[in-house]
Amino acid sequence: MTEVYYSCESFYDRDDGRTPRVTSICVRNFASGQTSSFSIHKIAELKKISNEEIQEKYDILEKEMLKEFFEYMQTYKNHIWIHWNMRDINYGFQALEHRFRILKGTPISLEESKKFDLSRALVALYGNAYISHPRLQKLMELNHITAQDFLTGSEEAKAFEEKEFVKLHQSTLRKADVLANILGRTLDNSLKTNANWRERHGLSWRLILDLFFKHWIKATLATVGLISAIITIIQFV
């Protein structure tokens, strides 16, 4: 499994309809903990471009960064890619693909079966009220996961405007690590949430009744079979 997270300029308060520019991407192998990162400032450093020049050469740098990322994805396209709300053209795999196409690159597309939205999975497991919004930060607070280097969406937007690309990169690395932490706690059932016992264990009478009526034939046959078995045992005894 591979966790992925990326940072970009704000996708709010823009009137031109342009998809947000990507600043950094981080992917982490869940089993080994090995992390690979792709960022504007790293490409700029390799090309001997100063931080002050990044803005005017952004398209070149972004294209090179996305090229490296999609080459990585090609190598690990059979992995399950764990993400947090990367679901649409504003923020998601589609957005990354679209940005690369705009820059005259040729992206690859992961199969939908290889994408796993941890955010949606937690709602399915524990219910909508399992944690308040913003969910990622609140989960970190409740589970005492350190927020060092973590930037909120508004803080990332501000960092982009102020050309703090290293700061953005550190935040992306931290968020990939947070996803791994939350996934690990979910798998070993140690994740703390606000869900009650019934919500955590899926015991809902409404759900049980709904399933019963949807599958009443199977339920009836099973009930008749159980009664028949009990009568047979009694007669035998």
- The rounded distance, in Å, linking the Cα atoms of 206 and 102 is 49
Is residue 199 predicted with pLDDT exceeding 70? no
Q: What is the Cα 221 distance to its own chain's centre?
A: 42
**Cβ atoms of residues 168 and 174 within 8 Å:** no
pLDDT on residue 226: 43
- Predicted confidence (pLDDT) per residue in 34-81, tens digit: 999 999 999 999 999 998 899 899 999 999 999 999 999 999 999 999
| Extended beta strands in 90-199, E state | 115-117
Its pTM stands at: 0.81
Residue 9's pLDDT band (cuts 50, 70, 90): confident
- As beta bridge partners, residue 117 has 83
**Cβ atoms of residues 152 and 137 within 8 Å:** yes
Is residue 232 predicted with pLDDT exceeding 60? no
Is residue 210 predicted with pLDDT exceeding 60? no
Is residue 230 predicted with pLDDT exceeding 80? no
- The rounded distance, in Å, linking the Cα atoms of 67 and 78 is 19
Residue 196's pLDDT band (cuts 50, 70, 90): confident
Question: What integer is the mean pLDDT of 88-105?
Answer: 94
pLDDT on residue 203: 47
pLDDT on residue 45: 93
